[in-house]
Amino acid sequence: MTDYLLRATAANHSVRIFVATTKQLVQKAADLHHTTPVASAALGRTLTAGCIMGAMLKGEKDLVTLHIKGEGPLRGVMVTADSQSHVKGYVYNPQAELPLNAVGKLDVGGAIGPGTLRIIRDVGMGDPYVGQIELVSGEIAEDLTYYFATSEQVPTAIALGVLVDRDYSIRQAGGIMIQLMPDATEETISMIEQKLQALSSVTSLFEEGHTPEEILKIILGDLDYSILERRDLSFQCNCSKERVEKALISLGRQELEDMIHEGKEIDLHCHFCNCHYPFTVDELESLYKAARS
């Protein structure tokens, strides 16, 4: 099954819901970054949230970034999504390892530790919109729930899951987000709460073979709902040698001259996809000619 997301609405548009399956893109991220299981889980959960929040963007060129910084061994997670839900991201320390937590699960909260979550929405003009919270648990879904409640005043239920197999491959990954609009009735709210309480984890739903369509039906079955969109999801980085050249040129002649004087090849690294871009001294000299003094 390829990765995709469903966006749906229920009860006269008073409820909006997103269900995403993200196994392939989380696997790609784990392959690119050589992550340990707990790092795969932290990155995969955040990438899944990024896919969903990308689907919430209004403008075609809008971007959303989720930036988690923590005091735990993982130290942080960075994920950026565009409005087509192309996501890219990395963790600061992909080699972080921790014992399983008290309930036998990958200890994402412990790996992240106390810290902050920043959500940056870049809508193309003016300053980006930035919201920040102190982490509640570092488990990511809980932190995002708190973020939506406090920074955006939208009651939100979020489940994010990554199941890592014994061989460290990604067995299941996905997420569910449900938001209640101000006109949601008490009846609708309690109906959804009951459904969510009875629901097993998002990865167990996938493990049982349910599709996102079926998960929607399980949660919204008693309500009047409609699927507004089905979109494919993927991990994509937009870096290229050309973009890196432009960045180098923009440093200006003085900086480039210093690099040329070093007389050594330089190696630039894209954190998002772990790509390397080496530049020889000759190449730096031609960039120098293109740069302004």
* Residue ranges binding Zn ion (CB under 5 A): 237, 239, 270, 272-273, 275
Write down the least CB distance from residue 181 to Zn ion, Å: 37
Write down the least CB distance from residue 88 to Zn ion, Å: 7
Name the token pair of 258: 């210093």
Q: Which is nearer to Zn ion, 25 or 216 (CB)?
A: 25
Q: Which is nearer to Zn ion, 120 or 270 (CB)?
A: 270
Write down the least CB distance from residue 13 to Zn ion, Å: 38
DSSP per-residue letters across the chain? ---EEEEEEETTTTEEEEEEE-HHHHHHHHHHHT--HHHHHHHHHHHHHHHHHHHT--STT-EEEEEEEESSTT-EEEEEEETT-EEEEEES-TT------TTSS--HHHHH-SEEEEEEEE-SSSSPEEEEEE-SSSSSHHHHHHHHHHHS---EEEEEEEEE-TTS-EEEEEEEEEEE-TT--HHHHHHHHHHHHH---HHHHHHTT--HHHHHHHHHTTS-EEEEEEEE-EE-----HHHHHHHHHHT-HHHHHHHHHHTS-EEEEETTTTEEEEE-HHHHHHHHHHS--
Q: Which is nearer to Zn ion, 8 or 273 (CB)?
A: 273
Write down the least CB distance from residue 80 to Zn ion, Å: 11
Q: Which is nearer to Zn ion, 220 or 237 (CB)?
A: 237
On whether the CB atoms of residues 225 and 216 are closer than 8 A, the answer is yes
Q: Which is nearer to Zn ion, 101 or 236 (CB)?
A: 236
Write down the least CB distance from residue 167 to Zn ion, Å: 26
Q: Which is nearer to Zn ion, 166 or 276 (CB)?
A: 276
Q: Which is nearer to Zn ion, 199 or 239 (CB)?
A: 239
Write down the least CB distance from residue 218 to Zn ion, Å: 37
Length of the chain: 293
Write down the least CB distance from residue 168 to Zn ion, Å: 23
